[in-house]
Amino acid sequence: MSEPENLSEPARYSGAAGDGARATAPDADGLARFREILLDPEKLEWSDKSLPGLAQRMLWRDDDTGASIALVRFLRGSGVPSIHAHASNQFMYCLAGRYTYTATGVVLTPGAFYWNPKGSMHGPTLAEEDSVLLEFYDGPHYPTQPDWYTDPEDAR
């Protein structure tokens, strides 16, 4: 059986979707073909980050560009402690809770869509309630590792 004509080039993807979508074993460069996949994020464990009160369910990541899609959860009273910028565009859709950008008064509540353009200074933040956000980055998260993370993996 021959491969379909519309296959994309092999790629490096990770996260729950990428890990579950491998159609073949990676070649010597770590590249693999992928097939479509449906995830049930509720079946994925929350992975705590080194910033207290923050956990994620990494759904998908392009390991070459740093682009990613994740569910992030901030427990009530937690948040990002300082002003910072990202190395790419950040998009968030609030699924639950109340998540506030304290310097500007921007508040994310269920159904709110937030776009933080690449290089835009923002923060600090505070989860006024347990909050769950669907977060997208179209490239790498940070230009350098923020000081609130003690694990470099958390800044990916």
Per-residue pLDDT tens over the stretch 94-104: 999 999 999 99
Per-residue pLDDT tens over the stretch 95-153: 999 999 999 999 999 999 999 999 999 999 999 999 999 999 999 999 989 999 999 98
Question: Quick one: pLDDT at residue 18?
Answer: 65
CA distance 123 to 89: 15
Write down the mean pLDDT value for the chain.
Answer: 87
Per-residue pLDDT tens over the stretch 8-61: 565 666 777 766 665 556 565 555 666 677 788 999 999 999 999 999 999 989
For residue 9, the 8-state DSSP code is P
CA distance 21 to 5: 19
Find residue 39's DSSP bridge partners: none
pLDDT at 68 over 90: yes
Q: Please name the residues in contact with 81: beta carbons below 8 A apart, sequence gap of 6 or more.
A: 51, 123, 124, 148
Q: Determine contact, residues 91/66, Cβ cutoff 8 Å.
A: no
Place 85 in a pLDDT band, splitting at 50, 70 and 90.
very high
Place 88 in a pLDDT band, splitting at 50, 70 and 90.
very high
May I ask the CATH architecture of the domain 45-155? Sandwich (2.60)
Q: What is the pTM of this model?
A: 0.83
Q: Determine contact, residues 126/82, Cβ cutoff 8 Å.
A: no
Q: What are the sequence ranges of the domains in the chain?
A: 45-155
